Amino acid sequence: MVSQYATDVEYATSVDQFPDTDGNSAKWLISINDGTSYKTSEIISIWDPTTNITNFAEVTTNVIGTVPVAMSVNISGDNVRLIANPASGSWTIKSLRFVL
């Protein structure tokens, strides 16, 4: 389990990354807030490091307020990246990652 922390996220940002050879699937528990609005989600992903194909789903979401932050997963270079993309605002994002 790996914990990550990013503050002042205002544009598409990689909030976690690791080598694509560490496994072929991952699960993140995400917490996003700006001090007045809050969101928690689980994101699961699978990838093929040979073709750089990824597939992901945000499987659970709970929100208090409005949190216009979209999450995605991709491969860049040889790294799997969890991307946060806020439509507006400045956000603090915390995550726990499990790789299989």
Q: Is the pLDDT of residue 91 over 90?
A: yes
Residues 2-99: name the CATH superfamily. 4-oxalocrotonate tautomerase-like (2.60.40.1680)
- Tens digit of pLDDT for each residue in 45-60? 999 989 999 999 999 8
- Tens digit of pLDDT for each residue in 2-49? 888 899 999 999 999 999 999 999 999 999 999 999 999 999 999 998
Residue 96 pairs in a beta bridge with: 3, 29
How far, in Å, CA of 40 to CA of 32, rounded? 6
Query: pTM here?
Result: 0.93
